A and B are shown apart, each in its own frame.
Chain A
Amino acid sequence: MSDIVTKNAWNALARFTQARIALGRAGTSLPTRPHLEFQFAHARARNAVHHPLDEQALSAALDERGIRSFVVHSAAPDRATYLQRPDLGRVPSEASKAYLGAFGASGFDVAIVVVDGLSAFAIEQNVLPFLDLLVPQLTAQGLGVAPVAVVRQGRVAIGDPIAEALGAKLVVVLIGERPGLSSPDSMGIYMTWAPAQGTTDAQRNCISNVRRDGLHYEEAVYKLMYLVSEAFRRGLSGVTLKDETASQARLAGGAGSNFLLE
C-alpha cells in the first residue's frame, strides 16, 4: 500500500510553514489521506459558516456572570439571504428597531455588541472567556457598560445603529470572522468611537484572529483597552488611531535566515 504513494523527501521543511507541503503523490495526484484531511478541514469551515448562534445559551451564560443582555436580529431573515445581501446584515430588523427604540438613547460609555458574523463557532468558543477579562477592566476604568447586544445574522456595521440607540459613546463589536481552512473559529474585534448610521470602516480599529491558537485573549484585551483609552482621550478612532502596543506576532518581512541561500 505504502509503495503506491510516492513520499516527498522534503518533510523537514514542514517546520517552517503551516502550508500543506510535502503531501506526497499517487501518480501525480493527491494521496487519499491528505485529500480527506483537506475535505474535513473544509467541512469544519462550512459548518462554522452555517452553524446558528445559540443566543439563548449565550444570554443565560452572560446572566450567570451578572451581565445583562438582549437579542437583536438583523434585516437578513436567513443565512442564504445574509450571505448575498451584506447591506441587510448591517441594519436591525423592523422588530429589533422597535425594541432598540425603547432604550431611548439612555446613555452609556461603552456598548458591547456580539455578532455571529460568518462563524458562530468563533463566538461560542471565544466570547465568554474574552468578556470575563474585558468587562472587569472596563468597569475598573470607571466606564459605564451597556447591556450586551447579541446579534443574529449580523455584519460589523450593525454595531453602529445599536450603539446609537443605546446612546453609547463607543462601540466594541465582537464578530465571527470568515473561517479559514485552518482557523474556523477566529473572532474579530472592531472598535468605533461615536458610532452612528453612516460611520465608515475607516473610522474603526480592528483586532483580528482572536482564538485559542491565534491572538490570545489577554493580549487582545490589552490591545483593546489601549485603543479604548486612547479613543476616550483623543475623541476619535480608526486610521488616525494606530495600535502602538508591541505585537507578539512580528512580521518577519523577508528578513532572517533562508536554508535555500545558505
Chain B
Amino acid sequence: MPMYTHTVDHKVHAFDDLKDLLAKASPARSGDYLAGIAAADYEERVAAQMALAEVPLAQFLSEALIPYEEDEVTRLIIDRHDRQAFEAVAHLTVGDFRNWLLSDLATEDALARLAPGLTPEMAAAVSKIMRVQDLILVARKCRVVTAFRTTVGLPGRLSTRLQPNHPTDDPAGVSASLVDGLMYGSGDAVIGINPATDNVGAVMTLIHMLDAIIQRYSIPTQSCVLTHVTTSIEAINRGAPLDLVFQSVAGTEAANRSFGINLGVLREGHEAALSLKRGTVGNNVMYFETGQGSALSANAHHGVDQQTCEARAYAVARAFSPFLVNTVVGFIGPEYLYDGKQIIRAGLEDHFCGKLLGVPMGCDVCYTNHAEADQNDMDMLLTLLGVAGINFVMGIPGSDDVMLNYQTTSFHDALYVRKVLGARPAPEFEAWLEGVGIFSGDGRILADKTPGLFLDSIRKLGA
C-alpha cells in the first residue's frame, strides 16, 4: 500500500513511503537515476514535490528512512534531536516550513535556535521544493562561526583553504604552491594537504613541516594533512604537532564503514585533537569532507536519494563541533552529478542544508574532465555561494590540482569573489596579510610592491 499520494488533474501519483517520496521529489541528477530511485518523468517529480509539501515536519520524527536498529547515524539523529528547539516549527508542513524560512520570522537568531531541532531529513525535504534563490536567501541568514587560530564564518568574511598538493609530497614542491597561495592572500581557513600516501611517517613529516612554516613566519592559521582519522590519532600519539583532525564522512553507517570509520572512531579522533589544546581563539578541531553520491558509490544508500544521504552526513559532522565542513561537490564524477547544472544545484543544496543544521559549510567548487562542466560553471557556483555566505572555498594554483587531477577554485578566483562581494579574509589572517605587506590595507586587496617575506629564501635559489 502506498503511504503517500497526490492527485493532479484526476491522475493519482502514489509513493511507497517517505524515502520513495523524497527520492522522487529530488531535482534530477544522474546518481538517483543510477540508483534506480528517481522520478520516472517531469510530472511525477513535481507531483512528488507537491505531496512532500503536504507532509508534516513531525512525520520525519516517526518515520525513519533507514531503521533505527540498523544504522547508528539514524540513532545519532533521533537521540540528539532537540524537541524544545523543534517546537518553533513543529506545527508546520514541509511546504509551510519553506514559507517560514523565507519569511522575516526566520531571523539569524531564530534559525540558530532552531538548528538542533531539525533533522537532516527535514532540511533535505524542504531543499527539494526550493529554487536556487530560496537556497541562497535562507542560507545567507544562517550564521555558523567557528574558531581555532582564525575565526571563520563572520559576516562579510570569506575564507580559503590553501591546498598546496604535490604528487609525491616533495617539500619544496609543496612550499612553492604554499608561497604562491600566501602571496595571493589564501590560507585563512586552513593550509590543507592531500598527502600522496597514508603512511604515518610521511604524514608526520608533512605535519612537522607545516607547523615549522606557520611558526617561522608567524602565520595566524592552522594546518591539516588530510589523512585517515586513525592515522591522525597515531600521529598525535607519536607527538606530532597536529592542528586539525581530518576525515571523510557519509550519511549512513554502512558508507562510513566503507571509509573505515564509525562514530566511536570519530570521537577518539576528536578527543585526541582536543587534548593537544593548540587552538588560540577557539577549539573547533575537526575538518570533515563530504559529497553527494558517496553512499551510493559504496553501495550503502539503502534506497535513500543522494542529497538526503548527504544531509545526513552533516548530522555526523555536527556531533563533533567541526571547524570546517567541505562538500567536495564535483569531484565524484558525472555518474552522480552529470553536468554544471546538477553540480551548481547540488553545491547550493549542500551549503543550505549544512548551514540550516548549524554546520560551518565550505565548498570545493570543482569538476573533473569527464563531467559536462567547465570554468564558467565554476564561476557561477562560486559567485552564488559567495552571495549565499559560504564560510570558505578552496585555493589552488591556477585551478589545477596536479596531485588529484581535478579542477577547483584558484587563488585568483577567491580574490575575484572577495572583490565583487566586498568580502574579507578572517580578521586574524587579514591583520597578518596587511602587517607583512601582502594586502595593501586600502581596499585594493593586493599591494603593488612584492612583500619581502619569502624573497630572501627565493633569491638564494638563484634565477
- A residues sitting closer than 8 Å to B (CB atoms) are 6, 8-10, 12-14, 16-23, 25, 27-30, 34, 38-39, 41-42, 45-46, 48-49, 83-87, 118, 178-184, 249-262
Contacts and interface: CB of A to CB of B under 8 A. Distances in A.
Given A21-B179, A180-B369, A259-B458, 13 more contacts: A17-B173, A17-B174, A17-B176, A23-B398, A23-B412, A34-B398, A41-B400, A83-B370, A86-B335, A182-B402, A251-B168, A254-B169, A260-B179
B33 interface: yes
Contacts of B165: 19
Interface residues of B, number: 68
Given A10-B458, A30-B410, A254 B209 contact: yes
B258 to A, nearest CB: 12
**Nearest 8 CB-CB pairings of A with B:** A20-B398, A254-B205, A253-B202, A180-B405, A13-B176, A28-B415, A45-B369, A21-B180
Interface string B134-156: 00000000000000000000000
Contacts of B173: 16-17, 19, 252
A179 B405 CA distance: 8
B330 interface: no
A20 B400 contact: yes
B370 A118 contact: yes
B334 A23 contact: no
A84 B209 contact: no
B205 to A, nearest CB: 3
A21 B165 CA distance: 12
15 contacts: A13-B179, A19-B177, A19-B398, A20-B399, A23-B412, A45-B369, A84-B34, A84-B334, A179-B369, A251-B168, A252-B169, A254-B202, A254-B205, A254-B209, A261-B213
Given A17-B173, A258-B175, A12 B461 contact: yes
Interface of B: 30, 33-34, 164-180, 183-184, 196-197, 199, 201-203, 205-206, 208-209, 212-213, 216, 334-335, 338, 368-370, 374-375, 396-400, 402, 405, 407, 410, 412, 415-416, 419, 445-446, 448, 450, 454-455, 457-458, 460-463
Nearest to B415: A28
Contact of A29 (B168, B205, B412, B460): B412
Nearest to A14: B176
A251 B34 contact: no
Given A49-B370, A260-B213, A16 B446 contact: no
Contacts of B180: 8, 10, 13, 19, 21-22
A260 B454 contact: yes
Nearest to A30: B412
A209 to B, nearest CB: 9
B214 to A, nearest CB: 11
Contact of B183 (A8, A30, A261): A8
B197 A251 contact: yes
B172 A12 contact: no
A257 B454 CA distance: 16
B463 A38 contact: no
A29 B418 CA distance: 11
Given A10-B180, A251-B196, A25 B412 contact: yes
